[in-house]
Amino acid sequence: MSYPKMTVNLETIKNNVRSVVGLCNSQGIKVAGVTKVFCGNPRIAKAYIEGGVSYLADSRIENLIRLKELDIPKIMLRLPMKSEAEKIVEYADISLNSELDTITSLSEKALEKGKIHKIILMVDLGDLREGYYDEKSLFNSIEKMIELKGVKIIGLGTNLTCYGGVIPTKEILNRLAKLEKQIEEKYNIELEILSGGNSSTVHLLPDNKIDRLNNLRLGESLVLGTESAYGEQIEGTKNDAFTLQVEIIEVKEKPSLPTGKIGRDAFGNIPTFIDRGVRRRILCAVGKQDVDFEALYPLDEGIIILGGSSDHLILDGSDSEVDYKVGDIIEFRMSYVGILRGMTSEYVEKEIIE
């Protein structure tokens, strides 16, 4: 067996998806399952589909290409680059957009392929990432977009929390619903999708009915069962679908303070240390090139993560009840970021359990 290794439990993922999709469906909301966290792995994406998602969604066209054989509508989440317009039209049924120039390129490529590419226009409601911030600019762009052939505006969307940390509220999302209604009346078009963000919006369900909201783009709530606004576990879900196993390569008693003058570490930072005396230090064969140490949570509560470097993870095992030896395996749960980094690293083995 090769380490470090991430183990993925498909049954747990399916159970999470069923629970979250059921919650959303009860409010008339369809779920787009975000696959970027596991790099568009088709086997894991199938668990999403079996759990009941209505779409698959990803930020990278390479991942959507991996999913091309799965018969379900696919959404390009990140605003498309003009240079990838042809691939977007070929492998995504829908894309999120906020730039007229890019939509024009999509229109041209769609016409070449004899397709109609669907567009969700993004509106920035204050988180300051993508989307139209000024309504006048949005309306001016729509007037030009509706004249384009090969593309069709099918909805509005927004993203919250990811950059600015803005928590979705009923009042904020009702602004999006009001804007959708204005656009439909002004331009005599029907917008079939109102996409109210990501897993941070789930905290509003089921107590807050958002007018017109009928789509959410969910990743964390499906793989971990948590809403991302406050980190609360969603009823009926589990947070252990993904686990990381790492192998111990050294166990030694050492002081907890380095000896000598302290300068910058391998990543350009000046480290600080807590003097705990002589401690049992455990060195593992995984590093910052593979995972985010702050996103790891040891299953053994007696272990303290001290830090590490690009290739090494350093643990304090003095308080553990386990007498760890070289060659033993230590397991971790991970946050969403931890799963993302581990699944992306080619140096981390992946084992998918049916």
Annotated catalytic residue within 36, 74, 109, 350: 36
CA atoms within 13 A on the CB side of 319: 11
- Partnered with residue 281 across adjacent β-strands are 252, 316
Indicate if 288 belongs to the active site: no
Dihedral class, residue 39 (left if φ above 0, else alpha if ψ from -120 to 50, else beta): left
- Partnered with residue 117 across adjacent β-strands are 151
The helix/strand/coil state of 100 is helix
When computed from its CA atoms, the radius of gyration of the chain, rounded to whole angstroms, is 23
Tokens read off for 28: 């008339």
CA–CA dist 44, 135 (Å, integer): 39
**One-letter-per-residue 3-state SS of 155-222:** EEECCCCCCCCCCCCHHHHHHHHHHHHHHHHHHCCCCCEEECCCHHHHHHCCCCCCCCCCEEEECHHH
Burial class (CB in 10 A: 0-12, 13-18, 19+), 246: buried
Element (H, E) at 314: strand 313-316
Q: Are 3 and 245 in contact (CB under 8 A)?
A: yes
Nearest to 208 by CA among 161, 179, 167: 167
Q: Which residues are catalytic?
A: 36
